[in-house]
Structure 1
Amino acid sequence: MDEIHSTLFDDLADSMGELGQANREFAMSFPGDRPDRQPIHTVYGGAQLFSSKTTAKLGQLALASLNRYAPDATTFAAALGLPTDGDLATQVYERVRARLETEPVEDFRIDFEDGFGVRPDPEEDATAVRAARELAVGMREGTLPPFVGIRIKPLNDEMRRRSIRTLDVFVRSLLDAAGKLPDNFVVTLPKVPIPEQVTALVNAFEHLEHKLGLPDRSLRLELMIELTQSLLDARGYCVLPRLAKAAEGRCVAAHFGTYDYTASCGITAAHQRMDHPACDFALHWMKVAFAGTGIWLSDGATNVMPVGPHAGKPESLTAEQERENRQVVHDAWRLAAKHIRHSLENAFYQGWDLHPAQLPVRYGMTYAFFLEGFEAAAERLANFVEKAAQATLVGEVFDDAATGQGLLNYFLRGLNCGAVSMAELGVTGLSVEEIRTRSFARILRGRGAVG
């Protein structure tokens, strides 16, 4: 066969050079998901209530709720709407209990906004100092969750001075008491309609870092998407990419504020819920704007609390009162379970929890989501890798090369949240080293399946 020659690429050197630059700029803007662990929830609590023992106390209360209202796997599965027969119920229950005993809270936000309210300046100052000192105690005693931070007030005209003052007082007090920031510390900025507010917070970060001797870019932020104007500006342009750009690489995550957003849409309180179509619209807009950027996404919270109408320990209540309590708690659990599954099915792997009795549901539904399809997905991935990425048919499911990364992402998310262990992923046919690459294409290249 005669040798084939082509000079077209070289003939288009200028054009190809411009294309190469554009491709590199695109890759910088969309680097893909970060390999870091993402928490599956953020627990919010008023700053006035925070102490170094808060997360341990939340775990104790969560376990007490589980013991009281779901003392066995069957009861728990039924309350969440999961199958009560088979191994899934037992697997989920045992892993939830173990998590509540060892690491009940993954991420906690000390709240100076809605959870704290508007108070006199001296009171908020004093609370910021006290909360910062408690955080420092938690750092020394090892009682903090893996992720922690504060939510300041909005940077609108009414609150901007108070918001920046609280940030300043808190960070200074924390450094005075601890000498450094805790791991994975973040500042949450609520109700952000314009990028100029993000720029102002970044400027405040830079000033604090310089003045207090913090490493550059050590202060990071989260955006809260809670207003219709956070999606679309007065000119009809999408605001979200501009908010992220204004953060100058400091934006860790974007969190959706269910109830402020639905209120900004004019939806009445009785119909404000996490799975409202208005929320789905905003969440998918967030997904489109931030996909591939490395910015984590979080859904909001179920606002129906799993708290029975009758206060007191079981022994102080009548059987009917305890039955009514259990029914109310189970109804709230079932609603939260529905909302969490809705989030997970739409690739929102993080949400908010507002009460310790919500923690069993958060872990239970997240674990169930990844465990219930584990065997089928493992078979698909193992078969697909074995066939070196050729299109394959497993049962009624057709897989091609585009599916490989999606299957791998499923297992990576399950590993991230603790639903499965690295050892359990061995059934996929992948080695620990291959799984840690987080890239299906790299796995295939390593096996010589693709050039």
Structure 2
Amino acid sequence: MPDHRTPPLPSINQAELADATADLREANLEFARRHPGDPPGRQPVHTVYGGAQLFGADAAAKIAGVARRAMEEYVATPAALGEMLDVAGHRSLDAVHARVREKLAREAVEDFRVDFEDGYGNRPDDEEDHHAVVVGEELARGIADGTLPPFIGIRVKTLTEELRLRSMRTLDVVLTTLVTQAGALPDNFVVTIPKVTMVEQVDYVVAVLRQLERTLGLPKRALRFEVMVETPQIIIDHEGRSLLPRLVEVSDGRLTGAHFGTYDYTASLNITAAHQRMAHPANDFAKHVMQVTLAGTGVWLSDGSTAVLPVPVHRTTPGSALTTQQQAENRAAMRDAWRMHFGDVLHSLEGGFYQGWDLHPAQLVTRYAALYFFFLDGIEAAGARLKNFVEKAAQATLVGNVFDDAATGQGLLNFFLRGINSGAVTEAEALRMTGLTEEDFRGRSFVRIMNARTGMAADTAR
């Protein structure tokens, strides 16, 4: 039994510290309010963008079909996938191939954004009004038919003086049509606001969303939004501060995500088109600022897109077939585009961005391949490390030693939480590898796990 010695009388007079204690308590509570941590729900691993003029209730199914056909034509076997992505012989290749195939069959599209901005362009008002009505109707039909992806929303135009009224009219027409016909919003519906440059734009969006909720009879804060981070001014404003924390403050709790716009951002820095790529150092700097300023706020981060699309150079026509040379050129085009996208997704994951944009159905193949390679590569070792951390920490606490490596344990726990979220790892696999429980994973906190283990161990010792 440990020798519990009587401590000396305290030297700190808490009564004399009342004012300082009150100040610290207020500051602690304010810090907790500003940094509630990650939301408990699932974060989609991607957002697929498509022009509003093409949207239909069956969009997700059509995209899935194109993705599956691309996989069957070019990477039907694990060996073909390994050659195409330059990972031949990788020990996880068979598992990754099987999981990508299963994912494309079960739920190829996690998040879809109906685009009224860059993917739609500037059109006459009556034409955009028409498409806004159709989008509202198709969203309502998708709710009724159960064909919408788990996450969905629309991207409107930017809120400059030239486009503000058009942007909000489109939002109004879509939502009024949708709610009138369906009586509710789709699950996880979000509005994307592009090219945000000032706090007042978010103030304005919040005012519009509040009014729409009242007019359409929607619950308070039913309408949520995400911002596009694609201008230098949102990263560092004219006063030398990042705008992002202030956007969270004025968002009325409605800001769900911050999505990086690769090409608008690099263009605004005068980076030439030939060098506008996902992994450009300028982009990494901006994304580091996003991570630092939004850490712990509950705002999801998303990386941008790869603009080089996996599209065959040659297409067949009725009554004709491709030559051997044309088939080889198609494979080369698919290989180059897929390798670029695969590398970009891995770069995002390594940098802590677990969501990104996909612009073409065939990119879903490499989106999920990159995710699954990232999480399956070394997962057994990570599971053993986490299991060892948990066991050693509990033992150390019992003998009175201090365990001060909770950050490492939390990092390993986050790896599994993200792996489960992405579908790369099943919950059953995570439980087996780590020795943790479902409740442990739901709590999302390594410190909480350690406290529970320490308490149980202490009870057993008594």
- Could you state the TM-score of these two structures normalised by the residue count of structure 2? 0.93
Contact 2:82 2:90 in 1 (8 A): no
State how far apart, in whole Å, the 1-side matches of 2:449 and 2:425 are: 20
User: Which of 217, 228, 249 is 1:213 aligned to?
Assistant: 217
Residue 309 of structure 1 pairs with residue 313 of structure 2: yes
Aligned counterparts of 1:141 and 1:157: Cα–Cα separation in 2 = 38
Structural mapping, 1:392-431, within 5 Å: 400-425=405-430, 426-431=432-437
What is the letter of the counterpart of residue 324 of structure 2? Answer: A
Residues 309-359 of structure 1: per-residue CA shift (max 9 Å, x gap): 101279721121111101110111100111111100010000000000100
1:158 CA drift (Å): 1.0
Give the aligned partner of residue 280 of structure 2. 276
Any conservation in 1 of the 2:81–2:97 contact (CA below 8 Å)?
yes
Alignment partner, residue 94 of structure 2: 90
AA aligned to 2:371 is T
For residues 164 and 365 of structure 2, what CA distance do their matches in structure 1 show?
Answer: 37
User: Match for residue 395 of structure 1?
Assistant: none
Cα distance in structure 2, aligned partners of 1:80 and 1:399: 41
Residue 354 of structure 2 is aligned to residue 349 of structure 1: yes
Which residue pairs with 2:445 in the alignment? Answer: 439
Whole-angstrom distance in 1 between the partners of 2:176 and 2:367: 34
The answer for the alignment partner of 2:17 in structure 1 is 12
Whether the aligned pair in 2 keeps the contact of 1:262 and 1:272 (CA below 8 Å) is yes
- Normalising by structure 1, report the TM-score: 0.96
- How far does the alpha carbon of each residue in 1:167-199 deviate from its partner, in whole angstroms, 9 at most, with x for none? 111100001111100000000000000010011
- Could you tell me whether the CA contact under 8 Å between 1:244 and 1:251 is conserved in 2? yes
Alpha-carbon distance in structure 2 between the residues aligned to 1:364 and 1:105: 14
Aligned to 1:382: 387
Instruction: Decide whether aligned partners of structure 1 residues 365 and 2 sit closer, same or farther in structure 2, where only a CA change above 3 A counts.
Output: closer
1:39 counterpart residue number:
44
Counterpart Cα distance in 1 of 2:75 and 2:275: 29
Tell me if structure 2 keeps the 8 A contact 1:95–1:419: yes
Query: Structure 1's 399 and 340: CA in aligned 2 closer, same or farther, altered over 3 A?
Result: farther
| 1:221 partner amino acid | F
Q: How far apart in 2 are the matches of 1:309 and 1:390?
A: 62
- 1:336 aligns to what? 341
What letter corresponds to residue 356 of structure 2 in structure 1?
A: G
Q: For 2:45 and 2:82, how far apart are their aligned partners in 1?
A: 20
Say if 2:34 and 2:297, in contact at 8 Å, map to a contact too: yes
- C-alpha offsets along residues 58-107 of structure 1, whole Å, 9 cap, x if unaligned? 00000000011111011112322334243x00100000000100101000
| Superposition map of 1:187-206 within 5 A | 187-206=191-210
How far residue 51 of structure 1 moved from its aligned partner, in angstroms, is 0.3
Moved over 6 A (4+): none
Q: Partner of 2:119 in structure 1?
A: 115
Aligned length: 445
- The SS at the match of 1:108 is strand
Q: Determine if contact 1:389/1:400 at 8 Å carries over to the other structure.
A: no
Aligned 8 A contact 1:389 1:401 in 2: no
Q: 2:245 aligns with which of 241, 256, 263?
A: 241
Paired with 1:84 and 1:254, the residues of 2 have a C-alpha distance of 37
Q: Show the 5 A alignment for 1:157-306.
A: 157-306=161-310
Q: Which amino acid aligns with 2:345?
A: I
C-alpha deviations, 1:265-318, integer Å up to 9, x for none?
011111100000110010000001101101000000000000111012797211
Aligned equivalents of 2:300, 2:177: Cα separation in 1: 29
Distance 2:378 2:40 in 1: 23
**CA-to-aligned-CA distance 1:31-54 (integer Å, 9 cap, x gap):** 111121000000000000000111
Which blocks of at least 5 consecutive residues in structure 2 are unaligned? 397-402
2:84 touches 2:335 (CA, 8 Å); kept in 1? yes
Identity of paired residues, percent?
A: 55
**Aligned-pair CA distance for 1:9:** 3.3
Which secondary structure state, in structure 2, belongs to the residue aligned with residue 45 of structure 1?
strand
1:384–1:390 contact (8 Å) kept in structure 2:
no
Residues in 1 aligned to 2:160 and 2:394: alpha-carbon distance in whole angstroms: 52
- Cα distance in 1 for partners of 2:338, 2:211 equals 45
Deviation at 1:401, TM superposition (A): 2.4
Tell me: CA distance 1:208–1:5, structure 2 relative to 1, closer, same or farther (3 Å): same
Q: Which amino acid aligns with 2:414?
A: N
CA shift for structure 1 position 130: 0.4
The SS at the match of 1:365 is: helix
CA shift, 1:390, in A, is 7.3
